[in-house]
Structure 1
Amino acid sequence: MDALHYIILTFILLIATVTDLRERRIPNKLTYPAMLLALCWHYVMTGADGLVFASIGLAAGFGTMLIPFLMGYMGAGDVKLMAVAGAFLGPAGALKAFLFTSLVGGVYAVAVVAWRSPLTTMLASAMKDSKGLLAGAGTWVQNLQGRSQGVPQLAYGAAIAAGTIISVISDYGMNAFVPVWWA
């Protein structure tokens, strides 16, 4: 595939990541045109076979995130962003990107939970507080009492972007992003 193809996908993923981190959503005005662009791209480059390839990839990307969405773990924007990745990468690429996304997402989730943990809060308070660890423990108890019991919100678009880009690099190396005319 052409490097421009991967550069466009990366650009879309980066926009989705920034939007998701800022607004906690991935807008339809990004995902739907990106899906259409991928379908058209493959059709123009390889005809009806390319359209079938992109369509099956779109369905594979969508399908990988559908169950987590239905269970309430993912937002609809995350599902559509993975479908975009699938439309660009095809069915096998969508599944590989999903696997890398799951790994990145797991590390991301553990990091967020660790960052928000009472121990981390207590240690940070103790380090800031000149009175030492005992004063930090009091702050830790206060934080525990005021803490919401909900699951931390993740901007999973970042994990999708990272997992997809890692997937492309694992297949083609950094050369995937170098246009033929540039090399």
Structure 2
Amino acid sequence: MHSIAWWPTVIALIIATFTDLRSRRIPNWLVFPFMIAGLAVSGWSHGWSGVGHSLAGLALGGLLFGILSWMGGMGMGDVKLCAAIGAWVGPGQLVIALVLTGMVGGIMALSWAACGGFLGELFSGTGDLLFGIKERGLRPHPELVLANPLTRKMPYAPAIAIGTLISFFSR
């Protein structure tokens, strides 16, 4: 992580969290300039090797969350936000941030379902996703996708923000 990477990242995560909670969207006007700035700062700080490191982080974030988006469980704003974070922090730091994000997201989903009274539905859907893959293959579950208006949707930018911030302070 670059020494100046934390403050632009924190600002972008605050804005992304606010907009995702309010409108369930993470705007392109936020993530694309943030992504480009990450590449530029890496190049300015470390030359071409910094750009390569930044591109590797961007690609890793886009690939991992892109798979989740393709399977219908994550929005493209989340994918672009993770790719932009990768451009700032590089692949090593991003892996730590994404593992922590997954843990935080799981805790948030369990809490959300428990408070909303649909914990059983959450576990049933999770079972369908995990154990139905044998019949379905890698195709998205027909009902448990964001495109289904009946599917419960949790904004994920707060989990991304918390996981990323914990990764900063755990180093």
TM-score interval for Structure 1 and Structure 2 normalised by the shorter chain: 0.7 to 0.9
When normalised by structure 2's length, the TM-score is: 0.79
Indicate yes or no: 2:75 matched with 1:86.
Answer: no
Paired residue type of 1:22: R
Shift of 1:23: 0.7
Change (3 A) 1:118 1:15: closer
Q: Distance in 1 between matches of 2:23 and 2:72?
A: 18
RMSD of aligned alpha carbons: 1.6
Judging by fraction of residues, say which structure has more helix: 1
| Residue aligned with 1:113, SS | helix
Which residue number in structure 1 is paired with residue 42 of structure 2?
Answer: 42
- Corresponding position: 1:6 with 2:13: no
**Maintained 8 Å contact 1:98/1:164:** yes
Amino acid at match of 2:81: L
**Residue 151 of structure 1: CA displacement?**
3.5
Alpha-carbon distance in structure 2 between the residues aligned to 1:76 and 1:21: 15
Q: Measure the CA separation in 1 of the matches of 2:2 and 2:37.
A: 15
| Count of residues paired in the alignment | 142
CA distance in 2, matches of 1:85, 1:118: 32
* Residues 113 and 152 in structure 1, CA contact (< 8 A), matched pair in contact too: no
Determine the structure 2 residue equivalent to 1:162: 162
Query: TM (normalized to structure 1)?
Result: 0.74
Change in Cα spacing, 1:53 to 1:117, as seen in structure 2 (3 Å) is same
Percent same amino acid among aligned pairs? 39
Instruction: Tell me by how many angstroms 1:150 deviates.
Output: 3.7
What are structure 2's unaligned runs of at least 5 residues?
120-148
Q: Deviations over 1:1-21 (max 9, x none)?
A: 554320111111111000000
| Structure 2 counterparts to residues 54-73 of structure 1, below 5 A | 54-73=54-73
Q: Which runs of 5+ in 1 are unaligned?
A: 120-148, 172-183
Instruction: State the distance in 2 between where 1:166 and 1:63 align.
Output: 22
Alpha-carbon contact 1:55-1:87 (below 8 Å) kept: yes
Give deviations 1:71-99, integer Å, cap 9, x for gaps: 11100000001111111110111111110
**8 Å contact from structure 1 (residues 54, 89) kept in 2:** yes
Cα contact 1:64–1:98 (8 A) shared by 2? no
Instruction: Confirm or deny: 8 A CA contact 1:112 1:152 kept in the other structure.
Output: no
Q: How far off its partner does 1:62 sit?
A: 1.0
